[in-house]
Chain A
């Protein structure tokens, strides 16, 4: 458990201001914020490598505010991993096990390396390893001493997109297995949705909102948040494989996404509870259905019409509210107004599943 109450910290012109945050045992909490919002500084204050000018930091019912970093038992991973370049992979992972008897330390290194699938790298040097390999090693090094909490500073953002998705899934499954209380900061909302049990948003040194991911995304409580998040249609639901399964390249498959009364055909890479995001401009609005390749056809009633010249922002109730954006001209020719029945068409590939 991590609890921050009224924590402030100043570094140069930048300050964290009265941060309140509580992360439950075993929770995976993602703090989302743009570059320069104070994410790294907050992690450093929790780890104890930067001081807090006021407030209290609690970890597992212990007030650690005045403890040095080495007494806090925290796993910390920086964005650029910061492996020790003079040491082998094995010695990097064993770095935090210096107080253990050597045999135990060796066994622990092997165990963590197996967990992160980096056993073949153990006796190599750091120079020349790929970003993904370095990320796993840094994670192994942080996890080896069995920290009480894990702090991850943009752990995926230095990787290329393919590896990023893969490691994102692994971070999640690693968390399912180990259940270490985790605070992960990022500027990438896809990452936040894919990983977070709960979510917070940080802006200019303040935490502006916390909650379940869909709450935060659907009801951003400030103009900044709405702009920063930029997702208007976010649905929480369940994804299940179509029968018979039809495989696409790269492990993706056709599936059905269900969120309450709504059922959508989607392309997914995983089953189970997920988030689906649809950009408003990906939704086609028409008076009646027309022949098309799009697999999702929904009937609904217009709830509101908002003119944002030269566009019109339309909220349509199809069981859940969906936002669509069309041109003013189309809106006029369809004679759209609140209460009018319309048809929505969405391509399965336009629905993003996290």
Chain B
């Protein structure tokens, strides 16, 4: 093997500092807590239902994001839309604004007395203080992950492959599903995973829209501010373990298949 250069040494050292900084709190949380606490947390009904709520709401947000976001990603990749740069910038905005602000902004549209809230109340959907509020808060802050991943994935598919499919008798939609989607599924899947994971980790916007029923992040904050660190730790530990393991599993699947194809 080549002898590492001075650049390699300096950069490794700098990089290692940051990796340690990211790793230390997580490790401390995982290893520093007695196993009993985790058991307590997982048998605590309130913790369990909060985690279940986080997972299912994140799932719904991701599903809605996929149905509406993948087509948008395709258009951004393939067509020269009017105001394309504006749309691309807009998609990224929720990532940069403080999330309580996002929550307040959503409230101004989906609150009971505002346009969106009134419109959807006809279909029996209310957002503030309800589960759909959690879902739209998650959707708002995390959909950019999926849209961007889909756009980048479709950009990597040669449009001429779809042209060939068209000459072989497929309509535009047929070419999309038989060529563009299968060739960018890895981007779509990892985009969906990122969106789902980001949705689970959301706190600020959800806090504004729906404090109760509590999702896991709100429950942890609630316990921390009411009872202190000792009581916040077990549900925090449970949430971290659960979401990390699902995240790792899905990541593992998409990477493994990807490598299988490249080999």
Contacts and interface: CB of A to CB of B under 8 A. Distances in A.
A14 interface: no
B75 interface: no
B166 A70 contact: yes
A68 B183 contact: no
Interface stretch (A57-65, A92-100, A283-291): A92-100
B172 to A, nearest CB: 8
A82 B168 contact: no
Interface in A115-160: 127, 141-142, 145
B168 to A, nearest CB: 3
A324 interface: no
A205 interface: no
Given A82-B158, A85-B183, A44 B171 contact: no
A37 B182 CA distance: 34
Given A82-B160, A82-B161, A49 B167 contact: yes
A44 B163 CA distance: 9
B169 interface: yes
Majority SS at the chain B contact face = helix
A68 B166 contact: yes
Interface in B158-201: 158, 160-161, 163-172, 174, 178-179, 182-183
B183 A75 contact: no
Given A85-B183, A86-B182, A76 B164 contact: yes
A69 B161 contact: no
B166 A99 contact: no
A47 interface: yes
Contacts of B164: 76, 78, 82, 84, 141
B168 A141 contact: yes
B67 to A, nearest CB: 23
Contacts of A200: none
B168 A99 contact: no
A99 B160 contact: no
Contacts of A76: 163-164, 167
A82 B170 CA distance: 16
Nearest to B172: A68
A68 B171 contact: yes
A49 B159 CA distance: 10
Nearest to B175: A70
Interface string B209-228: 00000000000000000000
Contacts of A44: 163
25 contacts: A44-B163, A47-B163, A47-B166, A47-B167, A48-B167, A49-B166, A68-B171, A68-B172, A70-B167, A70-B168, A70-B171, A75-B167, A76-B163, A76-B164, A78-B160, A82-B160, A84-B165, A84-B183, A86-B183, A86-B261, A96-B168, A96-B169, A98-B170, A141-B164, A145-B168
